[in-house]
Structure 1
C-alpha cells in the first residue's frame, strides 16, 4: 500500500512539474521554434548549408545564411535557456566546474597538465566565459585582411543583441585606479576599441547580471529557413569523388542524436552549397581528422581512410596563458568580471574579478598554507545558501594574459570517438620570449596589488609573497610546484599557469584553410572559428569570433 501511494505521489509530482508553465517554457523556448532535439530529426535531410557547431561563430553565421538559404545547425550540446540563473555572472566559476551531465562545460587536462574546458551548449564558449567584450586589435584586422567597414558593421550587428556597459563599483574602481598608478596609461574610459592604456570594456552580462550569448543572435534568423538540432554529435563529414583525379567534395555529414540513432544531412545540388565547420580550436581539427582530412600517418594508425593528407591539421595549437594573484579582502566586494582592463605597451592584458561563487576545491594541494593565511582565506570564503558545498570569495584575483604567445603545440586524435576530447598540447613556455612576457605581466600585477589605490582591499598582515604562495598552492594544474619564488617570477609563471580558454591556431589560414576559409585540398568545406587564427585578436576573442561568423 505504501509503495503504491509513493508511486502515485511520484507520478503526480513529475506531472505537476512537467506541466508547470515554467517547465513547459523551458522545454521549448517559444522564440526559437526551429530549435529542437536531434531525436526529432528525420533519418535523411537536405540543406544548402550545414553548420557544424552552434557556438560563437556558428550562431551568427547560421543566422546570416538563413536570410537567403536553407540552413541546418548541428550542436552537440543542449540549450542555454533551460535553467534561469545558471549562467548569471555570480555563477561563472560554478558553471565551469559543474560535473553533472547537464554541464555546459566538458572538462579535460591538456597534455601539459593544465585543467581546461570545452563548451558543449548552443552559444558555445559565450555561455561559459567571463563575458568580456572588446573589438580586435587593429593589427589583427590588418593581418587577416578583413574589410574594415564590413568588420565595423558586423560588430555593430552583434552589439545590438548582447553588448552592455558594466557598472564600475568599489573593487573594479580600485583596480582601474591601481592600473593607472602602476603606469598603464592613459585612461581611455568606456570603449569597445582595443587601445593601449587602461579602459572600461563592454560585457555580455546585462544590467541585472544576466548573461547573453551567441545563441541570442539566432533571433536574427529567418525561422522558415533554419533548423537547429541539439545533442547532435557529428561523427563524420562525407566526401565523394566524381571522377578519377578530381578533388574530394564534401556532400554531407553523419550525426548521432542523444539516443544513439544515426542521421544523415546532405547538401543540396546548389552550386553554393557548403558544409561549414565551426566547432572551435579543438573540435574543428578533430572532426576534420575523423573525416579523413589530416596527417596521413596519424589517420592510418587510427584506421581512418585518408581523404587528403593534410599534415598541418591540428598543428600550431596555442593558448593565451593566465597567471595572477588571489587577493582575499578585509572588506566586502561586489560581484564583478573583468570590466577594468589594462593593455600594456608589451601587449599584456591585466584584468580582475571579484565576489564570485566558488565550487568545492578539488585540485591538488601542494603545500599546507601558513596558519594566518589559511585563516584569512577560509574566512574570506563565505557560505552561499542556495548552493550546497559552495562558497563566495570575499576578494578576488588580479590576472594577466599574454597577448601573443609564441609557443605552440598540437591537437591529435586519442580515439575515433568524437565525444572524447583529443590530445591537446599547448606547450606553454616552450619559447623563452613567453616566459619574459609573463614576467613583465606579473610585474604589473604585483604593482597593482601593492598600489595605494588597492590598499583597502589588502590584509596588511599578508605579504604579496604569501598571496603568491596561496595562488600557486590552489592552482588547479598538475605541474610540479615550487614555493617562495618571489625572486623568481619565471618559475612562478610556470608553477601557477592556467588557461585563459583562448585556444586558437589548429586550422590556420594559409596552412589548413585559404584566405576565404575554404579547406585546402577539398571542395564545399570551410572552417570558421578561432582555429583559423594565427593569434588571438586582443583581450578576448569572443566579439571577433562572433563578428567573423556574421
Structure 2
C-alpha cells in the first residue's frame, strides 16, 4: 500500500509526529511500531515502570559494552518497545533543558532551533497544571502535573538542605530559570501516566487517514536511486512493504534510527561494505557522537519512614494498591523521582552543570531478566543522585552484522574526558555537603552507600567509576548539523545527500540537553511536523 508519509517508531517523537501529520485529514499516514499496544495496566500506573524495567514484551532491553573508565562494566539500557516508546516505561520527569542548550544548537549551524524557536513548540504541546503562561501551555495534548501536595515529607528535608547551601528554591525547572532545588514536574494526569501515545495517539486512533500498525519491525528503507520511497517490515513470519509518496521519517530513537539507516546502506561506507551491505550513501556520522547522562547514587538509611515501608511489605503494597484504585492517589500515582535540582558546582560557571535527584525510596537494580520488579529495600532509606548536565565524552554504535534482529553494538565511552571526571567528583562532593546540612542530618541514620569510609578524591572517583549507571538518555547518533561529513541530518531534519528521508527523534540532538530527554524528544516530533507540513 502507499501512504503520503511513513513514520517508523511510535515513541516520544513518533507519536507526536504521526498525530500532527494526520491532524488535518489531508494526508495519509502509516505509523509502524515494533512493539505492541500500550493499553496495559502497569504501563498506565505511574509507578508501574518498575514492572516494565525488565519486561521484554515492552522493552528492547539493550546491553551496552563496557568502557575502560568504568572497569569494563556493561550497562543495561532499557528502551521502550511499545506504543509511546520510552515515554511508556520511563520515570516521567518533565524537563526541557536550559535555554542555552537550544542557543547552542542554533549556533552549531541549525537555524530554527534556538530557544525562541522551540519555546512556542513546547507551549503548544503542553497542558500544564498551572495553566497557560509565558512559560507554559494550557491546552496542548500533553498533560504535565505538579504534584507538590502529594510529595513524600522527606522531600522537604532535601530542599531545605539545598537552601542551606545557598541553592535557591525553585518550583519550576521549566520556568524562568532552571537553577535550584524543588519538585519535579511529571507527565502524569489524574493518576495515570501521560505517555506520548496517550497524549497524541489515543485521540487520533479513529482517524481514517492514520493507520497504526503494531508488531511491525522495519528492516530496511527502500530506495529508488538516492530517494527513499518506502520501507520493508516484518510482522510475525511475514515480510511486507509500504510505499511513501512524500517521505519516510525515522523516529525510532537514538538506537533504532541509526541502526535502520545502516541496515539500509546509509552510514560509514567501509563498515557497511565489510558486513556485505550494499552502500546507498556514505554518511560517516551515522551512529557516531553518542551522548548520555551518567548517574551516581548515594543511599542513606533513614531515621524516619520512607516509601520503603509502604512498598516493600505485602500489606504496604496492598494499601498502596487500594488507595490507587479507589482514589488514583498515593505512591503508585507518582514517580519515585519526586524532587531534585540543578546546581553549579563552581561559582564561576554561568549555568548549572549538575542535576540532582531525590527519591524517598531505595532499591538495588538487579541484573536484567532476573526479576520483573525493582523491589524497595526492607529498611527505611532513600536515594540521592547526581548526573552531569552536559558530558563531553562521546560514544558510538555500529552494526554487529547485517541481520536486523541482532542488536547493535553500543559503546557509551563514559567518563572518557578529564572534564567529565572532574564534574562527577564535584557532584558527589556536593552530595556529601548536602547530607551534612542540618535538615538532612535529622533524616539520616547512616550513609549506606558508598559509606563514610569512602572519602578522598581517589576513593570517590573509584566509586563513581565502579557504580555509575546510565540515566537512560541516549541521543545524538544522527546528529543535526550543516556538515555532511560530521552530521547526519540538516536543520530541516532531512538526511544529508538523500531525498524523501528525515529523522525526527532524540538521535538528532546536536548536543545532549541539560536534563531528562523525554520532553525534548516530544518537542522534536512536534517541530518535525511543522517542518514537513510547511514543505507542502
Answer yes or no: same fold by TM over 0.5: yes
- Structure 2 residue runs without a partner (length 5+): 68-73, 107-112, 128-141, 308-330, 345-351, 482-486, 527-536
Q: Deviations over 1:227-256 (max 9, x none)?
A: 111111000000112xxxxxx000000000
**Deviation at 1:324?**
1.8
- 1:499 is aligned to 470
SS in 2 for 1:262: strand
| Cα gap change, 1:531 to 1:353, in 2 (>3 Å) | same
1:263 paired residue number: 240
Residue 321 of structure 1 pairs with residue 294 of structure 2 = yes
Shift, 1:500, TM fit = 0.5
Does 1:361 pair with 2:337? no
**Is the alpha carbon distance of 1:295 and 1:362 closer, same or farther for their aligned partners in structure 2, counting shifts above 3 Å?**
closer
Rounded Cα–Cα distance in structure 1 between residues aligned with 2:340 and 2:420: 21
The answer as to whether partners of 1:359 and 1:389 remain within 8 angstroms in 2 is: yes
Q: Is the 8 A contact 1:105 1:128 kept in 2?
A: no
1:77 aligns to 2:35 (yes or no)? yes
Query: Which TM-score applies when normalising by structure 2?
Result: 0.79
Query: What's the counterpart of residue 83 of structure 2?
Result: 122
Quote the Cα distance in structure 2 between the aligned partners of 1:411 and 1:205: 33
The structure 2 residue matched to 1:166, chosen from 131, 137, 147, is 147
CA deviation digits over 1:97-146, x for unaligned, max 9? 33xx4243524233432222222111111111111002231112223332
Report matched runs for 1:134-149 at 5 Å: 134-145=95-106, 146=113, 148=115
| Alignment CA distance shift 1:469-1:256 (3 Å) | farther
The residue number in structure 1 matching 2:193 is: 211
Is the partner of 1:236 in helix, strand or coil?
strand
Tell me: CA distance 1:156–1:324, structure 2 relative to 1, closer, same or farther (3 Å). Answer: same
Partner of residue 104, structure 1: 59
Q: What's the CA shift for 1:292?
A: 0.1
Q: Which residue of 2 aligns with 1:379?
A: none
**What are the within-5 Å matches in structure 2 for residues 383-462 of structure 1?**
390-391=375-376, 394-459=380-445, 462=446
CA separation of 1:362 and 1:541: change in aligned 2, threshold 3 A:
closer
- Distance in 2 (CA, whole Å) between partners of 1:111 and 1:526 is 31
Distance 2:438 2:35 in 1: 46
Cα 1:363/1:155, change in 2 over 3 Å = closer
Task: Kindly state the Cα deviation for residue 438 of structure 1 after the two structures are TM-superposed.
Answer: 0.5
TM-score by length of 1: 0.77
Instruction: Say if 2:510 is the partner of 1:534.
Output: yes
Q: Does 1:253 align with 2:220?
A: no
Deviation at 1:493, TM superposition (A): 1.4
**Residue 196 of structure 1: aligned partner:** 179
Partner of 1:29: none
Would the aligned equivalents of 1:74 and 1:232 in 2 still touch at CA under 8 Å?
yes
Q: Secondary structure, in 3 states, of the residue corresponding to 1:332? A: coil
Aligned equivalents of 2:237 and 2:101: distance in 1? 42
Q: Contact 1:135/1:543 (CA < 8 Å) preserved in 2?
A: yes
Q: Return the offset for 1:198.
A: 2.0
Equivalents in 1 of 2:405, 2:262: separation in Å?
Answer: 14
List per-residue Cα deviations over 1:444-498 (Å, max 9, x = no partner): 2222233221234321xx3x4x52159xxxxxxxxxxxx9455422222111110
Q: 1 CA distance for matches of 2:286 and 2:224?
A: 20
- Output the aligned Cα RMSD: 2.5
1:545 aligned onto 2:521: yes
Q: What runs of 5+ residues in structure 1 fail to find an aligned partner?
A: 1-44, 242-247, 365-383, 471-482
Corresponding residue of 2:92 = 131
Name the CA shift for 1:47/1:392 in 2 (closer, same or farther; >3 Å): farther
Report how many residues are paired.
452
| 1:512 paired to 2:517 | no
Q: Is the 8 A contact 1:52 1:277 kept in 2?
A: yes
